[in-house]
Amino acid sequence: MSVKKIIFKFWIMKNRLIMKKIILSLLIFASFTGFAQQNLDLEAWTVKPSGSDSADYWLNATDAVAYGAPQNLFQETTSVAQGTSAAHLTTVYWAMGSILGLDTLPGSIVQQVAYTQTPASISFAYKSNPMSGDYNVVAAQLSHWDNVNNTQVIDAEAVFTTNTVNNTWTPQVVNFTYYTTDTPDTLTLVATSSANILFGDGSFGYAKIGSELWVDDIAINFTTGVNNILSLDELKIYPNPVTSSLNIYNPTENPLKIQVYDITGKLLMTEKLSQGKNTIQADDFPKGIYIYKILNFSNNTIKTGKITKQ
């Protein structure tokens, strides 16, 4: 498959510890599909036999607490944005998890549903306390299965990331960026205290113990206007040829990435692209021709080209 898979590892209690891999094509859980969004306001919770909190209808790793993992998802009732409950996610250290390569365990909640609509945005309220070098993420993705090519196609994304401490409940609206005009069949929602569990390449930092994210009042929003469909002509890379500073203009609210390769295919750099103008330094690159790739949140290549360094 051409779409890069991102692997989440969670644990399901069936009289023994089972490490279950849930394979995503940005957050797409083939084994966890519902038929309508439920508990987006995060008011419904269950206490697991281990004593840990679990948000109803959201996939999370709280069952691992029964096997010694620290709790990394909590029902927040003291300070909420609305109603009586919110989700508090935190990245924790699990000594036994080092055997599985999971000694740093981000707090995450994920929900996937069958879905054929084309919303304009997601909204939610959040508080954030990412450790230095880490990012919190709240994201939504629309996708569909391509039976001809036997692959998952990413139709649209709405992604919010932050590396800033914010101790006040803050409303946030993130527009969907549409990559296709196809009809989706799946909606996936995710919130996590550490972005690296999704990206894995360090472009949004690395998971740091103690990073925290609070999220509440999630909603899917519609409008009668035209959806934000990304035009590749709006993704501008200049000047080309370049001598020192290369500018990349990201027209979307969603974070993108640029990867630069030499002519042998060796990856030289990966940089995050925020909305608007981004500048990377090419002073240390020898003169010659380089290949660039622009990738979206789910690591799909959406634009490629050549850069000449003079």
pLDDT, tens only, 131-163: 999 999 999 999 999 999 898 899 999 999 999
Radius of gyration of the chain (CA): 20
Indicate if 262 and 192 belong to the same structural domain.
Answer: no
Per-residue model confidence (pLDDT) at position 230 = 65
Whether residue 58 has pLDDT greater than 70: yes
The two structure tokens encoding residue 229: 């469909």
pLDDT in tens, 61-89: 776 787 788 999 999 999 999 999 999 99
Q: Is 139 found in the same domain as 268?
A: no
Q: For residues 171 and 133, is the Cβ–Cβ distance under 8 A?
A: no
Q: How confident is the model at residue 23 (pLDDT cuts 50, 70, 90)?
A: very low
pLDDT at 201 over 70: no
Which of 161, 92, 83, 175 minimizes the C-alpha distance to 128?
A: 161
Is residue 75 in a domain?
yes
Residue 112 belongs to a domain with what CATH number? 2.60.120.890
Domain that includes residue 268, residue range: 230-309
Give a yes or no: residue 26 inside a domain. Answer: yes
Mean pLDDT, the chain, whole residue set: 81
Query: With 90 as the cut, is the pLDDT of residue 97 above it?
Result: no
249 shares a domain with 211: no
